[in-house]
Amino acid sequence: MEVAILLVSYDCGYYRKRMGRGPEKIFEAGLKPLFAEMGVAFTAEEIVLESEYPTEISAAFLLARKVADRVRTCRAAGQFPLVLSGNCNAALGTVSGCGTDNTGIIWFDAHGEATTPETTKSGFLDGMPISTILGRAWQTLAKTVPGFSPVPGRRILLLDARAAEPCEALLLEELGVSRLSKPHELPTKLIPIAKQVQQFYLHVDLDVLQPSVATANQWTPPGGITVEELIKALEEARRATKVAALGIGSYDPALDQNGRALEAAVAVVQALLA
């Protein structure tokens, strides 16, 4: 299978700044050598935001529409979409491009990603991708993304989320999202969901890792899981389900002083393609 690498090099609308520099770094320094070693065929393209006001909320949904179109086209051509993004809200486009009617989600993240415009205290748009996918935030804009419809909470597994806010925990519980604190819990929770869907989207925010293991961004809180635990969970997912697409986000090369977060990103891709 050929891999289609889609680089979404934006962080809060800013091009190749902070975490927006992550996609290119992962691709150039990590995936190119890996794919050469593995003999994996791939294409790569950058999704560019065409907007006079790139930091407006509307721009994030414009990116999501572009991602959805490209993911759908790549899958129709028999390619496996690998979306490298600065922000996690690119996942809205990836899930929509896969088809929300028959797709489950496995999401690795230190955060709950489920604040809403009414509950957020920071106003950080990238804290709302899961609540948007669930149908509880930005629905007028979300419905402009091709292929989008809300994904029922029972089809979403959220692993770690150790820094979830109380309002996020309440929303996730209300909508039936399964929260897992440890990767070894994944198979038990995954099997019932796999019977309801045809495929899964896997999302990895690298701040799911323990900061003592790897620091991917400035919001990495204490706690988390090891690279080995992450890889084992991904291998379990690969064996139990069909993986339709992979998203890796929230990597700031400037904070990865020892290169371990980059190594983790490469290990994630290798585990799914091995």
Give the pLDDT mean for 69-77. 98
The beta-strand segments (E) located in the chain are 3-8, 10-11, 14-15, 42-46, 80-85, 103-109, 156-160, 178-180, 199-205, 243-249
Which domains can be identified in the chain, with CATH numbers? 3-273 (3.40.800.10)
Give the pLDDT mean for 186-197. 92
pLDDT for position 52: 86
pLDDT for position 1: 81
pLDDT at 50 > cutoff 90: no
> Does residue 268 contact residue 230 with C-beta atoms inside 8 Å?
yes
Give the pLDDT mean for 77-100. 98
pLDDT at 274 > cutoff 90: no
Q: What is the DSSP string of 103-167?
A: EEEEEEESS-----TTT-SS--GGG-HHHHHTTSS-HHHHTTSTT--PPPGGGEEEEE-TT--HH
On the 0-12 / 13-18 / 19+ scale of CB atoms within 10 A, 100 is: buried
Residue-wise pLDDT for 224-243, tens only, equals: 999 999 999 999 999 999 99
> Does residue 30 contact residue 262 with C-beta atoms inside 8 Å?
yes
Residue-wise pLDDT for 250-273, tens only, equals: 999 999 999 999 999 999 999 999
pLDDT mean across residues, the chain:
96
Residue-wise pLDDT for 126-149, tens only, equals: 999 999 999 999 999 999 999 999
pLDDT for position 90: 98
Residue 148: how many other CB atoms lie within 10 Å: 25
Pairing outcome for strands 3-8 and 178-180:
unpaired
Tokens of 263: 């190594």
Q: Which of 117, 79, 124 is nearest to 98 (CA)?
A: 79
Give the pLDDT mean for 49-54. 88
Give the pLDDT mean for 73-96. 98
pLDDT at 124 > cutoff 90: yes
Angle (deg, nearest 10), helices 260-273 and 227-240? 20
Residue-wise pLDDT for 151-170, tens only, equals: 999 999 999 999 999 999 99
pTM: 0.97
pLDDT for position 51: 84
